[in-house]
Structure 1
Amino acid sequence: MIWASVKRLFFIGISSSILPRKFYFRIPLTTGWITRIDPSLSSAREKFAGAIYCPTDGSGDARMFTRNLAEYCATQLGVTFLYDTEIRDLETSGDRITAALTNKGRIAGNEFVVCLGVFAPRFARKLGVSLPIYPIKGYSVTMPIGDKHQAPTVGGVDEDNLVAYARFGNRMRVTATAEFAGFSKTHKPQDFTHMLRATRELFPQGADFGQPDYWAGLRPMTPDGLPIFGRGKRFANAVMNLGHGHMGWTMSAGSARIVADMVKRTEPAFNPEGMLVKAV
């Protein structure tokens, strides 16, 4: 995380100190150290007052990870994935869901995990729960990196411009902007002007800016940024795993552990206090 303002850097340093060091190790950096850790920022070093470096942080391609995980689960663990399958209703008996009724037929089960992203609130009231989840539109742009480019070697965030960047092999991805736009995922090149300008200032030779691959999607955000877990009161065998916003991949492993423990009806390995679903 890099800052141009000394004042902001000072206050962020104070606020980040509330996080336990064993979970979030951080190192304040001067401008000289910023460029030692990532030489690609050398041409922009005069723009910074300093940075906070988190050596335990990392970045990666969530899509690639998810596709490979799905393949492993299918081939090694016997998991069946049903793609392009629409849940149209639920079959219930008393306080239990007995099956999901889909466009491809009835799917019975003993336990059901609700993880419908931004579409969860429309479905949740059938389960007796109220979900404060809203679709927040986010944007990203991905550009190719050639042999002569000076791309970042460490993922980071330009906190003054609220632009995040990371290198994925021979690609550089940049993300910024969040807006209320309903369920629209449309976009136009002008939507990416701010993030591209900020990125060019940081990395003038960072990537091929002439070949941008634009993307926009919806993030299932909650007002406090926390995900939602637990069981509703109406059905005893429905577990929630929702509302991860723009931190879905970051929180996926910990969330999976919480949900797995709930499905098994054992004490969660992580305390979900403050993140439990509320009944309608």
Structure 2
Amino acid sequence: MLARRVRPRIPAGTDAWPDAGPPVAYDGVMRVLVVEDDPGIADLLVRGLERAGYEAVGVPDGRQALASVPEPDVVLLDLGLPDMDGVDVCRRLRGRSDAAIIVVTARGEEGDRVAALDEGADDYLVKPFGLAELLARIRAVLRRVRPVEQDVLRHGDLTVDVRTRRVTVGEHEVALTPKEFDILEALAVDPGRVVTRQEILERAWDAHWYGPTKVLDVHIAGLRRKLGVSGLVETVYGRGFRLGTPDDQGAPPGGP
């Protein structure tokens, strides 16, 4: 069943756009790709983003989104696209890009949210929504996904390449899920510092995460198993997690 078309709460036909603050600037103007097949909604979003200081372009389907050049800093992704499901587009984008992905859709069921977030979406916004909220979410997501300038993080035999999202332990490359990578990156930014459970949940899931925190323990267990280095990811009871001094740097990483 196709989701009903719901327009964002943006005042059409007027210049009264909300002033929600400047974009987060890293390397000049931030590029936003709007993936939306409804031309009216796409136009409203593009115009609103441009007035807020972003460089924005809209495409109507998944194929054009995946072929987009240059690579955007942020992707606003509708799920109800004409040529492919938006969740599949999200998965394929995340596999090749570190752009922030915010799903903007009329599909508000929990199953849709979980599917998109598990496939790499950084945030999920259900229509209708206000432009001010969208801009605030873009800024928040950019703060989470681009908190460090380093492209490569190292701790002993562990190497985390933030740009390519590749992880190696010694000479062995380790295949991680998007969530596992985000958790490891949060820990590797400052090895030895205790990162709270809430910090990790906000970075790897959503700043508005209200689900059970035990989901983090499941991903931590999987991360430890794949890294295959005893003592590397430490639990600091009552506080959070940190990268510690490995008991054995020479052990090969575990499989999936």
> Structure 2-normalised TM-score?
0.23
Larger % of strand: which? 1
Larger Cα-atom Rg: 1
> Structure 1-normalised TM-score?
0.21
Comparing both chains, which one has the higher relative contact order based on Cα–Cα distances under 8 Å and sequence gaps of 6 or more?
Answer: 1
